[in-house]
Amino acid sequence: MKALRRSSTSSSSSASSSPRAPSSPPPWVQLRSLLVASSSSSSSSLAASGNSASAAAAAAASASFSPASYSPHSDRGGTKSPWSRRKRKRPLSCRHWNHLFSSDGKLRDGGRKFLKKVRGGGVEPDIRTKVWPFLLGVYDLNSTETERNVIKRNKRNDYEKLRRKCHHVLHSCKGSGLNVINEAACEYHSCTEESEPLNLESVSTRSSPSPKGLKSLRCGTNRQENATEGIDEDTSELTYVDPYVAESESSDSGTSDEEDLDRMSVSANTEVNHDPGPKFVRSASSKSDFFRNNKTPEDFATWQRIIRLDAIRTDPEWALLSHNRAEVSMEKALQYARSVGLKDYDHLEPYMIYHASRVVAVLEAYALFDPEIGYCQGMSDLLSPIIVVMEEDHEAFWCFVGFMRKARHNFRLDEVGIRRQLKIVSQIIKRKDSHLYRHLQKLQAEDCFFVYRMVVVLFRRELTFEQTLCLWEVMWADQAAIRAGIGRSTWSKIRLHAPPTDDLLLYAIAACVLQKRKLIIERYSSMDEILRECNSMAGQLDVWRLLDDAHDLVVNLHDKI
Amino acid sequence: MGSKPPPPPPSVSFKLVLLGDGRVGKTSLVLRYVNDVFSDKQEATVQASYLTKRLVVEGVPITLSIWDTAGQEKFHALGPIYYRDADAALLVYDITDNDTFLRVTKWVKELKQMANKDIVMAIAANKSDLVRSKHIDTHEPASYAESIGATLFVTSAKAGTGIDDIFSDIAKRLLEKRKNSSDGLSPAHPKKGILIVNDEPEKEPPPKCCS
């Protein structure tokens, strides 16, 4: 409440509010963060040099604004970070992590302490590999070590099957390979009923596929082996015919958009209806109909092409952070690159080639796994950090699947997911700061379209590597708490004010806009200018201040939005 | 060298939108043009970015507001937001990939229906540095361009060729069009074609001289 009142008065008297916040950082702190930021990322320094005047103005504006948005709630003692007014709570350490488990390797108290810790301060880098599968729902919070080992083995197999399909498609000529995609997608979705994208809640808990799934898995494997024995062998006769497709898709529609929509509805059907198992029909005649009616094959080929183009253009700074980059020999990198069909990588260092190959492998497998979404630019932004942290491809894949459980809606063709989220950001701003909201209305920008990129790639372009991971971890912990049904009452008992929310990201985005309110109100007279400001925020943000502000917003507004 | 025009002519601003498939080099073209830089590792544009470039054409200072959009088909629905009140569209394709040219023709169809009736269009056949043979066959795209009243330029953001040409061609045609359509009127009030979505008639303010 205090925070709310203060910031609403701040527009009129930001200077007079500063004495009330004696512990707010001096202006040099802001400048320093700016310096750190611009040296840390080439793109931001480019933006800063191109626009240094406005960057300085932005820094000045946020410096003068920060006292006003200061909230006593969020000052949780501890060592003072020089460039954050908040002191980040200590991240989850290895020692602490190990203590959280009982003798059978199960998290005590259903993971409450674990999630609380991560929500407060993130995770120490050296244990991320172990912790992320829990945060992302690959492992259930209540699983024992034995159960996890089984899950891990099964998931590894599942991933390898997906990869074999990808490999097969890549090496078979167009046309015959395409059926394999559809088979793979459909088959996969039928055999891992509960781990499919639309219903991922129990990705982790399922330790073995259902008998029906097992059967079709085996069938898939056998056929795959046959196929790889003789790659020229025509496997295209085996096509999966979905009863719904046959019934509903009788007419050809014109534009590719419509075709894509059709495809979406098709995969929605296969996802929603588990019962009609995949039917493998041996028939040559159905092939042409199939191609005409189902556009997934073309799309997959397109995805394959774009994935490869995007993979080699990943920001090298990210790959640099991999633990094992020194170990990547040129030979190993080239071998991997060849196996996934990477192209045009001659100019890259071995570790970059290796990183790019892994990105290709996982994204391609994901496109098979979730054909409704397939691949969309921006997804590689979300995968890159996971690839860097998770050293095994299959683990990276399943973590990515867990991440995409929510994020996949950002990449839907119909943009429903994005629009919903932009609307929530808009509502948060409206509730919190009607003055700013009216200004946005005046500029016809109240739809908050200017934060589109932050929503799509979850701050990846705006924050540094480490900051992105911190934000995501806190966000994942919130989502994990909700999945596990750890409700509001639990958190109030342990005095963490903000209840977990599925939309922490959106509160953080709103907080980020609110931090710029003065600049927006006083200086910007069009949506274009605000968008440009948002696009040049890279490196200027302090993730812990952002999270503090976001949590304050959650406390005040979660039951009103 | 001779006479300095006593009152500098007012700056005119135009909105230009870049459209084209993913990975054809839209961002690279703009960055080469505006900042004269090129990166092999240009990240995919996931929304749109906005840059401005000032240039002088026939003595008239021009400000181009350039909107660089996300190319992948998935972001197609965002298109109208950018081209709705655009004065010009630069359609980009990858000269080594015919599919990306087809995407250009799709955009053209859509622009004809949805954008300003008199939107100025140009087509960039980008990545010419990847074509080994000296002779680049652009017969078909060029005649297509002609048929829609656009001009075709072969460009390479990497090598930096053809880029100034295409932007200044656009600027010239924009200026010409504005002169023709608004003779007598001040350049501050361009005549707009009929907008299908006409929810903001006063959207374009008189061009602000940013210099």
Output the domain CATH number for residue B81: 3.40.50.300
The answer to whether residue B131 sits within a structural domain is yes
Question: What's the burial of A364, exposed, middle or buried (CB within 10 Å: 0-12/13-18/19+)?
Answer: buried
pLDDT of res. A157? 97
Are the CB atoms for A69 and A549 separated by under 8 Å? Answer: yes
Are the CB atoms for A392 and A470 separated by under 8 Å? Answer: no
Averaged pLDDT, B87-105: 94
* B16 pLDDT above the threshold of 50: yes
Instruction: Check CB contact under 8 Å for A306 and B81.
Output: no
Contacts of A461 in chain B (CB under 8 A): 43, 46
Which residues of chain A from 532 to 561 reach within 8 Å of chain B, CB to CB?
532, 535
- Identify residue A236 by its one-letter amino acid code: S
The answer to whether residue B155 sits within a structural domain is yes
- 3-class SS at B63? strand
Who among B65, B99, B200 is closest to A444 (CB)?
B200
The answer to whether residue B84 sits within a structural domain is yes
pLDDT of res. A84? 42
Rounded CA-CA distance A322/A356 in Å is 12
How far is it between the farthest Cα atoms of chain B? Answer: 54
Residue-wise pLDDT tens digits, A488-542 = 665 554 445 788 999 999 999 999 999 999 999 999 988 878 988 888 888 788 9
The answer to whether residue B201 sits within a structural domain is no
Instruction: Check CB contact under 8 Å for B46 and A347.
Output: no
Residue A343's H or E segment, with its range, is none
| pLDDT one digit per residue (tens) for chain A, 561 residues | 333 333 333 333 333 333 333 444 443 333 333 333 333 333 433 333 444 444 444 444 443 333 333 333 333 333 333 344 455 689 999 999 999 999 999 999 899 999 999 999 999 999 999 999 999 999 999 999 999 999 999 999 999 999 999 888 877 644 444 454 555 554 445 444 344 443 333 333 333 333 333 333 333 333 333 333 333 333 333 333 333 333 333 333 333 333 333 333 333 333 333 333 333 333 333 333 333 334 444 578 888 888 998 888 876 666 666 656 667 889 999 999 999 989 888 888 888 899 999 999 999 999 999 998 999 888 998 999 999 999 999 999 999 999 999 999 988 877 788 889 999 999 999 999 999 999 999 998 999 988 988 999 999 988 888 899 999 999 999 999 999 988 666 555 444 578 899 999 999 999 999 999 999 999 998 887 898 888 888 878 899 999 999 999 998 898 888
pLDDT of res. B39? 87
Strand arrangement, sheet containing B120-126: B48-57, B60-69, B12-20, B88-94, B120-126, B151-154
Who among B42, B50, B72 is closest to A376 (CB)?
B72
Phi and psi, residue B18, nearest 5°: -100, 130
The answer to whether residue B63 sits within a structural domain is yes
pLDDT of res. A114? 95
Are the CB atoms for B101 and B68 separated by under 8 Å? Answer: no
Residue-wise pLDDT tens digits, B120-167 = 999 999 999 998 776 778 889 999 999 999 999 999 999 999 999 999
The answer to whether residue B211 sits within a structural domain is no
The answer to whether residue B195 sits within a structural domain is no
Averaged pLDDT, B16-24: 91
Residue-wise pLDDT tens digits, B169-199 = 999 999 999 888 765 444 444 433 333 333 4
Confidence of residue B3 (pLDDT cuts 50, 70, 90): low
- Among the listed residues A341, A358, A421, A423, the one whose alpha carbon sits nearest the alpha carbon of residue A395: A358
pLDDT of res. A367? 95
Residue B34 is classified by DSSP as H
pLDDT of res. A89? 80
pLDDT of res. B182? 64
Contacts of B48 in chain A (CB under 8 A): 531
Contacts of A46 in chain B (CB under 8 A): 35, 37
- Among the listed residues B93, B80, B79, B101, the one whose alpha carbon sits nearest the alpha carbon of residue B26: B93
CA distances from B66 to A152, A199, A363, A375 (A): 49, 42, 32, 27
| Residues A60/A64/A66/A67 CA torsion (nearest 10 deg) | 160
Who among A260, A453, A532 is closest to B46 (CB)?
A453
Sorted by sequence, the CB contacts under 8 Å of residue A547 that are 6+ apart come out as: A470, A471, A474, A508
Q: Is the ipTM of this complex over 0.95?
A: no
- Among the listed residues A129, A128, A135, A139, the one whose alpha carbon sits nearest the alpha carbon of residue A114: A135
- Identify residue A546 by its one-letter amino acid code: L
Sorted by sequence, the CB contacts under 8 Å of residue A185 that are 6+ apart come out as: A267, A296, A368, A369, A371
Number of separate domains in chain B = 1
Tell me which residue has tokens 């980008």.
B126
pLDDT of res. A260? 37
Instruction: Check CB contact under 8 Å for A377 and B22.
Output: yes
The pair of three-digit structure tokens given for residue A102, joined into one six-digit string:
């009982």
pLDDT of res. A560? 84
Nearest chain B CA: its distance from A403 CA (Å): 18
Rounded CA-CA distance B62/A92 in Å is 56
Are the CB atoms for A396 and A243 separated by under 8 Å? Answer: no
Instruction: Check CB contact under 8 Å for A313 and B40.
Output: yes
Who among A314, A449, A456 is closest to B46 (CB)?
A456
Are the CB atoms for A175 and A302 separated by under 8 Å? Answer: no
Contacts of B76 in chain A (CB under 8 A): 257
- Among the listed residues A74, A83, A68, A11, the one whose alpha carbon sits nearest the alpha carbon of residue A540: A83
The answer to whether residue B66 sits within a structural domain is yes
User: Which site among A370, A376, A380, A416 would you substitute to test the B interface, given the most B Cβ atoms closer than 10 Å to its Cβ?
Assistant: A376
Who among B40, B49, B106 is closest to A535 (CB)?
B49
Instruction: Check CB contact under 8 Å for A378 and B46.
Output: yes
Nearest CA in chain A to B103: A256
Domains plus CATH for chain A?
94-143+414-558 (1.10.472.80), 159-175+295-402 (no CATH)
Instruction: Check CB contact under 8 Å for A313 and B73.
Output: no
Residue-wise pLDDT tens digits, A265-276 = 333 333 333 333
Nearest chain A CA: its distance from B29 CA (Å): 16
- Domain range for B153 is 12-180
Nearest chain A CA: its distance from B59 CA (Å): 26
The pair of three-digit structure tokens given for residue B41, joined into one six-digit string:
């590792």
pLDDT of res. A408? 93
Rounded CA-CA distance A386/A397 in Å is 8
pLDDT of res. B49? 79
Phi and psi, residue A189, nearest 5°: -70, -25
Residue A459 is classified by DSSP as T
Residue-wise pLDDT tens digits, B56-77 = 998 899 999 998 888 877 777 6
